[in-house]
Amino acid sequence: MRFGFVVNDLATEEPGFTTTRLCVAATNRGHEAWTINVGNLSYDPDELVRAMATRPPRARYKDGSGYLRDLRSEKAIRERVTVDDLDVLFLRNVPSDEKGKREWAKTAAVDFGRVAMRHGVIVLNDPNGLAKAENKMYFQLFPEEVRPRTLITRDRDAIKAFVKDEGRAVMKPLQGSGGEGVFLVRADDASNLNQMIDAVARDGHVIVQEYLPQAENGDTRLFLMNGVPLRHKGRYAAFRRVRQGGDMRSNLHAGGSLAKAELTDDAFTLAEIVRPKLVQDGMFLVGLDIVGDKLMEINVFSPGGLGSSQKLEGVNFSDAVIDALERKVSYMGFYRRNFNNAEMNTL
């Protein structure tokens, strides 16, 4: 089988990234695993999508370090592939990483993926679903039972009134990820609230959410695949992120640490509540960020951390993902590559 993995830039990929782990797992299964920089996608005059792509020279790798070393070496196989002829095109680029750098790259993978899927390549997560989720407003389309109380605005007075009503609130940009620009604001200490609002509002609308006290203990990332919690060999793909010191952010690259997840009934209830919309939108692989009985975020663009789950649970969840891709390619073959892409994403 021929898989394509779209990334922001091969030069910035790392051995522990989920995308790298998936490429290694696919390669070790005997599949062609092509890595495609988002900037290398092209729409040709014959109405096909093509791209300069790279795959490794060897058929088996022990880890991501050796894989990336070969992929960046002169030994790597580089070809201009016809994306429409691939079996799977996995959109693993992170649009928010392009903020302030390559604005054109934020939507390119979705745009080209939408065209490519016309010819039967399975594109996941579904491009039309991802287009709806281009910023955190997507979260507000899910039932209110799963969400913290939220205000989204650029009105300074409205933000101040919300903070006053809540006592404590979390403020962050509508666009962004990874804990960037996130503040905890208190009604009894609003001396520099104006400056914080200005800093967050500089790039657009501001999200202000009720503060969840359980967040003091960090949050839990739970992966969903095909709309249900990802489980492999009796273990769930999940981990807990714990805050360090006084930093309110639990994101790993913001200083958080890892711990084994203790999944509760609340976590599985949340997963069940969001399942219908995720299935409707063709979201194959998703990361839920859970605090208590609420979701803080639903990550549909290149959710990461499968390696962290593997480390804590002792299970290679990448194998389960490749298993699922193989099944989808088999289904699509029976239907002569003529099946609704969004539905195929979650079968």
Over the stretch 237-281, which tens digit does the pLDDT of each residue have?
A: 999 999 765 555 445 444 578 999 999 999 999 999 999 999 999
CB 122 within 8 A of CB 333: no
* DSSP classification of residue 215: G
What is the value of pTM for the model shown?
0.93
Residue identified by tokens 């009105």 is 155
Over the stretch 25-70, which tens digit does the pLDDT of each residue have?
A: 999 999 999 999 999 999 999 999 999 999 999 999 999 999 999 9
Residues of the chain with CATH 3.40.50.20: 2-124
pLDDT of residue 5: 98
Give me the CATH topology for the region 149-211: Dna Ligase; domain 1 (3.30.1490)
Quick one: tokens of 313? Answer: 């649970």
Which CATH number does the domain 136-143+214-315 belong to among 3.60.15.10, 3.10.129.10, 3.40.640.10, 3.30.470.20? 3.30.470.20
Q: Is residue 83 scored above 90 in pLDDT?
A: yes
Could you write out the DSSP letters of every residue in 167-207? SEEEEEESS--TTTT-EEEETTB-TTHHHHHHHHHTTS-EE
Q: What is the mean pLDDT of residues 100-105?
A: 92
* Top-level class of domain 2-124: alpha beta
Residues of the chain with CATH 3.30.1490.20: 149-211
**What single letter denotes the amino acid at residue 292?**
G
Residues of the chain with CATH 3.30.470.20: 136-143+214-315
Q: Is residue 315 scored above 50 in pLDDT?
A: yes
Nearest to 94 by CA among 178, 11, 181, 204: 178
